[in-house]
Amino acid sequence: MCSLALFPAPLACGQTTLCESNNELLSGTATDHRLKQSTHINYSVVLYFPRESLKLHCRTESSSKAAFLDHSETLWMRSAAAWRDGGLTGLLNEITNSNTEVPKWLSVSSGFTLALLRWFSSFHGSLFPHLTMSSENMLAEFSQVLNWSDCVVRAFAWHPHADKFAVALLDDSIKIYNPKSATTPTLKHRLQRSVAAVQWKPMCASALAVACQNCLLVWHVDPCSLSTRPSSGCAQVLSNPGHSPVTSIAWSPSGSLLVSASPMDTAMMVWDVASESCVPLQRVGGGGVTFLSWSPDSSHVLASTPSALFRVWETRTWTCERWPCVKGRCQSGCWSPDGSRLLFTVQGEMVIYVLTFGDTPGPQAAAVVADLSETTFNTADGDIIVGGEIHSLSWDPTGERLAVLLEGDPQAADRPAIIAVFKTRTNPIFELLPCTECFVRFSVSSGFVQGEPGAEPRMMQFHPNFQHGALLTVCWSSGRITHVPFYFLGAGVPHFGLSGSPSLPRPQERPADFANQSLFTELIS
């Protein structure tokens, strides 16, 4: 088991992590930043979205009602409008409120029904407390982005094959950056509000799925188009009653299906995007689905719920295994590149668990692989406490680096949110043994990734096919997006388990100057 005590101390104030080379994380100030990365010019580009530059919505759609004069309509009209806007509760509310116009028995009975409904929903809410939250709060609570509601960059996604990425911003727009083209298309749509997640469709150049507050959008952005504002006709709207807000989406790695999850809906939707049809996979326990992750070999899907329970779906016949947790809900999870191992974290615990899947029946319990309990480091600026609950996990496509976003404590200055990076090796020798202790060997820790002073990491993602190791993209609280390359030589091309789908095209030859570096990596790990 690995713990934070083995980590080198965090950097002093003013230093930022630049890259990993020769098996250590290099740091520097902003000035020599450019100098060191001049070899990989593409990734030294730092995107910066200052909060002031974004034009934010100051009002919601329904609040514009107040700007107009009150117009007295007939009861029928108002009831019809209430039914359209608020459904049954809206209608009952309207009837109860206009008790001067309706017969007394009607207003009394509708008030009684309303009270009964409210009592029932509060009872339901006491079973699943998350149901009482507003949809914004719910998104913030279950998002993989730390402190989502206050974050300038709300979602980020690398394209799985091409060298481009999409960024969702606080003002509900999405920008697409491609280093090879000068145009950065901006996607805006009437329904694109409170973006919780974006993901590119695999095996496709253009489709981008967006999880919004009320629906799912699938944009088709023509990569050859010079338009900077694709029309909203390029977006497919996928919605299902009761399936909102959508907090998580996942494309199948073969690009054929899209699954979406909402904490309000106990069913997980499997979409056939082209025909805009969906199959709900309903399991009542847990009270909703918050986070989805499809294994890279497309054989399993992790679906966590707001309760202390998560499921692992098997995608051939769509049956699921239930995994109850002891303490809290499953906060985050990630799959090994061959899809045989699942790392996950549980809210309220400071450890990372592993589950192994394979031909044999799965393990009966998850094993702890890393302990991230709080550790105090002495730095030049004073003591810093690192550790605590884990917000999200990200494993690079070669399976050699694991980035862990630690929540920290926003109130305490000496407990910052920080990204810890582990080196990992999935050891083939241990695969045959029944011992669950060490399926994944966490070797000597790599270190912490830090940004500019005052900036906290909010979200991170590994580049899906970086040629010289791994590239971690971090979105900071300041609105900056930086890329931290980890230069290393992989121990082996990832081998695929069940489906046998080959890996993404990986370079056969490597630059000569990195050749000796591999020795260090191999020796130390």
Partner 1 sequence: MFSTEQSCWFIRKVVCWRAVASIAWAVLLLLPITAVFVILSRFSLLHPIQTFSECLSFLTCASAIFSLILMCGVIIMVGFLNLEYYTVIPTIACSKIALLGQLLHPRQFVNSLAHCIMGIIVAWCCAVTLGGRYETIGYPCTQGDGTDSSPQMCLNEYHLILLLAGAFVGFSHSLLAVISNINYVSFHTVQQYKYLRFKGSLPFVVKCSAAQALYSVRNYIVVYFFLGYIPKAWICKTLNLHLNSSVHPLDSIAGLLDLSLLYHQWISASFLLFTWNITLLLFRIFVTEVYSFPVQSSFTEDAHQCLPKVLTDKQPMILKFLALQDVALLSQHSPSRRCEVFSLSQPGGHPHNWNAISKECLSLLADLTQRLVAYHDTVATNGRAKSLSTGSERKTSSETSFTSATEDLMSPRPTLLLRTPASVFARFVVGTPHSPLTAPFTPDLDSPFASPALRRLTAPLDQCSPWFGTVQSPHIMRRAPKLWSTSTDSQVNGSPPASPASVPSPKQEPFKPSRLALFLRNRKEQLPEASSQALFADSQAHIWALEGLSYLVQASFSEDQFGVIQTTLPSILGCMLILQEAVDRHFKLPHASSKPVRSASGMGDSTYKTLRFALRATLKTAIYRITTTFGNHLNAVQMSAEHRKRLQQFLEYKE
Q: Name the site residues for partner 1 (rule: CB under 8 A).
A: 159, 161-162, 203-206, 223-224, 254-257, 270, 272-277, 279-282, 316-319, 496, 498-502, 504-505
Taking the CB of residue 182, how many other CB atoms lie within 10 A of it?
8
Burial of 105 by CB count in 10 Å (0-12 exposed, 13-18 middle, 19+ buried)?
exposed
Burial of 80 by CB count in 10 Å (0-12 exposed, 13-18 middle, 19+ buried)?
middle
Residue 222 vs 437, nearer CB to partner 1: 222
Min CB(418)–partner 1 separation in Å: 35
Q: What b/e readout covers 400-430, taking b as 16+ CB neighbours within 10 angstroms?
A: bbbbbbbbbeeeeeebbbbbbbbbbbbeeee
Min CB(502)–partner 1 separation in Å: 5
Residue 28 amino acid letter: G
- 3-state SS, 308-337, equals CEEEEEECCCCEEEEEECCCCCEEEEEECC
Residue 270 vs 418, nearer CB to partner 1: 270
Min CB(189)–partner 1 separation in Å: 16
Residue 149 vs 206, nearer CB to partner 1: 206
Helices (H), 23-103: 30-36, 41-44, 75-97
Min CB(279)–partner 1 separation in Å: 5
Task: Name every residue whose Cβ is closer than 8 Å to that of residue 517 and which is 6 or more positions away in sequence.
Answer: 21, 22, 23, 487, 488, 489
C-alpha to C-alpha distance for 189 and 23, rounded to whole angstroms? 45
What separation, in Å, do the N-terminal and C-terminal C-alpha atoms of the chain show? 14
Residue 278 vs 403, nearer CB to partner 1: 278
Residue 313 vs 422, nearer CB to partner 1: 313
Min CB(255)–partner 1 separation in Å: 5
Residue 48 vs 318, nearer CB to partner 1: 318
Min CB(174)–partner 1 separation in Å: 18
Indicate the SS3 state at residue 486.
strand
Residue 160 vs 451, nearer CB to partner 1: 160
Min CB(185)–partner 1 separation in Å: 14
Question: Looking at residue 263, what DSSP letter applies?
Answer: T
C-alpha to C-alpha distance for 345 and 406, rounded to whole angstroms? 11
- What angle do helix axes 75-97 and 104-127 make, rounded to 10 degrees? 60
Residue 103 vs 505, nearer CB to partner 1: 505
Indicate the SS3 state at residue 116.
helix
Assign 3-state DSSP to the chain and report helix, strand, coil percentages, each to 5: 20, 35, 45
Min CB(357)–partner 1 separation in Å: 15
Tokens matching residue 334: 């990630």
Min CB(227)–partner 1 separation in Å: 15
Min CB(218)–partner 1 separation in Å: 10
- Tokens 């590119």 belong to 200
Residue 277 vs 376, nearer CB to partner 1: 277
Residue 57 vs 316, nearer CB to partner 1: 316
Min CB(161)–partner 1 separation in Å: 6
| Residues 217, 147, 354, 494, CA torsion sign | positive
| Number of residues that this document lists for the chain | 525
Residue 276 vs 381, nearer CB to partner 1: 276
Residue 307 amino acid letter: S
Min CB(284)–partner 1 separation in Å: 12
Residue 24 vs 272, nearer CB to partner 1: 272
Min CB(244)–partner 1 separation in Å: 18
Closest residue by Cα to residue 190 from 45, 344, 57: 57
Q: How far, CA to CA in Å, does 281 sit from each of 132, 266, 271, 316, 440?
A: 23, 8, 11, 13, 31
Residue 57 vs 495, nearer CB to partner 1: 495
Tokens matching residue 353: 């668990």
